[in-house]
Amino acid sequence: MSTQGHATSTRVDEIADGIFRISTPVPPSIVPGGFTFNQYVIRDDEPLLFHTGPRMLFGAVRDAVERILPLSTLRYISFSHVEADECGSLNQLLAAAPRAVPLCGQVAAMVSIGDLADRPPVALADQASVALGRHAVQWIDAPHLPHGWECGFLFETATRTLLCGDLFTQFGESHPPITEDDILEPSEAGRLAMDYYSHSPDTGRLLDRLADTAPATLACMHGPAWRGDGATLLRSLAARLASAPPRH
Ligand SMILES: [Fe+2]
Ligand SMILES: [Fe+2]
C-alpha cells in the first residue's frame, strides 16, 4: 500500500467541542472502494491523539496535528488495538513529541506495547479515566470487538464522544467530516463484503456496555463521524450482528 501523493488531501475538522478529526482519503487503486484513515485530536491542557495512522502517513498526520496544536505538546497517544493504521507510527510520534506516552488497555500493554513502544505505556484498567483538562477520557475494554484481544475504546465524557475505532467502518474516499445520516446500512454493506468482525460470544454484551455511555457523537476511524442517538445505533448494530452471520 502506498499513499504517497494523497497525503496532501488530508483534512482537519472540529467534530465536537475541542475534538478534531484528521482524515486522509485513499483511492480505490489502493483500497478497493476507496477508504479513509481518520485520527482524532482532543485539544486540552493534556492533548490526546487517538490513532496514529500507518507509518506511511506519518508526515501527513504530523502536519495535520500541527494545524491544531504544537505536536511537541502532545501528552497521550492512544489507540483502539494494535494494527498499522491504529498505532503504526507510534514510535515516530513519540520521537517527535517528547512529553507523550502511549495510552492503552492493560492487555495491549502486556502483550504488545510494553515491548513495541519506545516509551512505556500508561495501561488503563476497564472503566479507568484520565483527566485532560476540561475533557476526560474513559477506557472501555472491548476484547475482539470488532477484532483484537486487546481492543477497547475511549469515551470522552464532556462531549459524550465515543472514539469508536473500526465500528461503523464505511468504505469510499469522499465523506463529509460528520453526518447525521444513517451509517449503519452503509457500514453493514461494507462488512458483509469484507467481514472484519471476530463475532465473539460477548459481542452483544460489549455493544450494550458501549450503548450505556449514551454517546452523542461517534468518532469513527473510517468514514464520517456521526452525530445522533448513539445508544440506539449501537444496539441496532448489536441486533444486526446477532441476526446476520458472517459471510465467508
Ligand atoms: Fe482494526
Ligand atoms: Fe482501523
158 alpha carbon to ligand 2 midpoint, in Å? Answer: 24
165 alpha carbon to ligand 2 midpoint, in Å? Answer: 6
- pLDDT in the model for residue 7: 56
- pLDDT in the model for residue 227: 98
> Mean pLDDT, consecutive 10-residue segments, the chain of 248 residues?
59 98 94 94 98 97 98 98 98 98 98 98 98 98 98 98 98 96 96 94 98 98 98 98 71
Residue 2 falls within a domain, yes or no?
no
Residue 121 falls within a domain, yes or no?
yes
Supply the CATH number for residue 144's domain.
3.60.15.10
* 199, amino acid identity: H
Residue 185 falls within a domain, yes or no?
yes
Q: How many CA atoms lie within 13 A of 199 on its CB side?
A: 14
Burial 61-99 (b: 16+ CB within 10 A, else e): bbebbeebbebeebbbbbbbbbbebbbbbbbbbbebbee
Give tens-digit pLDDT for 175-228. 999 999 999 999 999 999 899 999 999 999 999 999 999 999 999 999 999 999
- Write down the pTM of the prediction: 0.95
Residue 236 falls within a domain, yes or no?
yes
Residue 219 falls within a domain, yes or no?
yes
Q: Residue 44 sits in which domain range?
A: 7-242
26 alpha carbon to ligand 2 midpoint, in Å? Answer: 13
208 alpha carbon to ligand 1 midpoint, in Å? Answer: 20
Domain count of the fold of the chain: 1
DSSP sequence for the chain: ---TTTGGG-EEEEEETTEEEEEEEE-TTTSTT-EEEEEEEE-SSS-EEE----GGGHHHHHHHHHTTS-GGG--EEE-SSSSHHHHTTHHHHHHH-TT-EEEEEHHHIIIIIHHHSSSPPEEEPTT-EEE-SS-EEEEEE-TTSSS-TT-EEEEETTTTEEEEETTT----S---SEE-S--HHHHHHHHHHS------TTHHHHHHHHHTT--SEEEESSS-EEES-HHHHHHHHHHHHHHS----
- pLDDT in the model for residue 135: 98
